[in-house]
Amino acid sequence: MSEVGYKILFVCMGNICRSPTAEAVFFTRLAERNLLYKVKIDSAGTHNFHPNSPPDKRSQLHALKRGYDLSNLRARPVVESDFEEFDLLLTMDWDNRALLEERCPALHLHKIRGLAEFLQTTQASVIPDPFYGGDQGFENVLDLIEEASEGLVKFIIQNAQA
């Protein structure tokens, strides 16, 4: 199959901590299962605070310790065409979700979901923002994103067009 079957956009506020981390972790999970050809992924922010900036240095450091390289990713805002282009827009928290839902055409509202919905065992409703916290916040975000990525891979395998 040469055509991508599923398109996923990870969304947080500034696109410098959680959503690029989710993009890199999920990319790795797809690569491990030879599914990169089936899924297109990207990340964006609800706010354009850091246009074309690399991810937060703390996010990069903690991710790299686990084997995820975020250095080539660059921040961008969610744009109107994202609502049509992507099959899933996965938000990190309730504020991100509310902001997307306000902007989203009614036809595409069903595409907006929370990444935490894909957690397998952890009971969390959001992926919390680590920006103003310490090292443990970034580690917690990685733990949650790694677990949610496993659930998301299962969802893709079950639902992506063959």
Residue matched to tokens 């040469």: 2
Q: Are 133 and 154 spatial neighbours (Cβ–Cβ below 8 Å)?
A: no
Q: For residue range 80-126, what is the model confidence (pLDDT) as tens digits? A: 999 999 999 999 999 999 999 999 999 999 999 999 999 999 999 99
Residues belonging to the active site: 12, 18, 129
pTM of the model: 0.96
Q: Is 51 left (phi over 0), alpha (psi -120 to 50) or beta?
A: beta
Q: Which amino acid is at 10?
A: F
Share of the chain above pLDDT 90, in %: 92
Q: For position 3, what pLDDT does the model report?
A: 62
The rounded distance, in Å, linking the Cα atoms of 30 and 150 is: 10
Band the pLDDT of 1: cuts 50, 70, 90. Answer: very low
Q: Which amino acid is at 22?
A: A
Q: How many CB atoms lie within 10 A of CB 49?
A: 13
Domains and CATH numbers, the chain: 6-159 (3.40.50.2300)
Residue 2 has pLDDT above 90, yes or no: no
